[in-house]
Amino acid sequence: MSKLSSSTTVVAAVTAPEAASQAAPALPPARVHPRPGSGSSSGIAVATVLALLLLWWGVTTAGWIAPLFLPAPAAVWEAARQAWSGNVQGGLPLLTHIGWSLLRVFGAFLLAALTAVPVGLLMGTSRIARGVADPLLEFYRPLPPLAYLPLIVIWFGIDEVAKWLLIYLACFAPIAVSTRAGVAAVQEEQLHAAQSMGASAWQLLRHVILPSALPDILTGLRIAIGFGWTTLVAAEMVAATAGLGQMVLNASNFLRTDVVVMGILLIGVIAYLFDLLMRRVADALTPWRARR
């Protein structure tokens, strides 16, 4: 009897998991939910642009808005053709205006990036640097460029230095603030792990802080170039003889709305193309972050 009971116990112990597995219902396959807002939006963007162009053409063709306030796309294209050959105010070809504007915006932007990123890193890693730079930065950052433009003209005259400085100041603040925010967002665990392995201050900055803050730095660069193009018109008000901003201002004095719209569209397209380039650079340098 004892042998029979022990054999029954062994058989029951072996067959119990099999019976339980057969009785349990099969779980459905896991469903992967996409991230909200993920996926390509290129098609939607193209459709939006085409819809706006069609609306612009329809409104101007129907005569709902006078050409003085909104010229037709054909008139803007004709203005661009005239500007290309230099048959607008000033007599300079369009490429000359584009070249001067690109030199001013990207030259000042490059200088701002080379100086604002180190300042932001210092503000994020040193309380002394933060105490010195933060009040000055937060004081002038909300000021519109036109507010301190007269002072810059008084101090530096009306040559290229004043134009570059105005765009430089507009680009400096967002880069420094974004860099500081990126440094502040570095996780304490990463810093402690590097320090426990004997990392020096330079190694900590080079291998931990800078890579972690890089997405915020690149975002600040994208924002800064937008401020640079926004300030371009104000900068070229200072006795400029060439530039897209100067061309737009000069055309507005003669009520050439077609040239004004053409200049605005050209500035927007150039800025947008550079922003697309910055997105590709950000995706290449920081592949771990979410794509935007």
Rounded distance, CA 17 to CA 58, Å? 74
Tokens of 59: 């409104």
What single DSSP character describes residue 27? P
Cα–Cα distance, 80 to 94 (Å, whole number): 8
Residue 194 makes CB contacts below 8 A (sequence gap 6+) with 203, 204, 207, 208
DSSP code of residue 144: -
Distance, in Å, from the CA atom of 100 to the CA atom of 188, rounded to the nearest integer, reads: 46
Please identify which residue in the block is written with the tokens 């112990």: 13
Residues 6+ apart with CB under 8 A from 51: none
Q: Tokens 């036109």 sit at which residue?
A: 146
- The secondary structure element, H or E, covering residue 88 is none
Q: Against a cut of 0.95, is the pTM above it?
A: no
Pick the closest to residue 77 from 91, 52, 57, 51 (CA basis).
57
Mean pLDDT by 10 residues, the chain (292 residues): 49 51 63 72 87 92 89 91 81 88 94 94 90 90 87 88 92 94 85 80 83 90 91 82 86 88 91 89 79 53
Half-sphere exposure of 228 (CA within 13 A, CB side): 31
Q: Which of 196, 218, 219 is nearest to 208 (CA)?
A: 196
- Angle, alpha carbons 108-273-119 (nearest 5°): 35
Of 118, 49, 93, which Cα lies nearest the Cα of 243? 93
Output the CA–CA distances (angstroms, integers) from residue 268 to 45, 162, 206, 263, 272, in the order listed: 15, 23, 36, 9, 6
DSSP 87-100: -STTS--HHHHHHH
The alpha helices in 142-209, defined as continuous H runs, are 145-156, 160-184, 188-196, 201-204
- For residue 125, give the 3-state DSSP assignment: helix
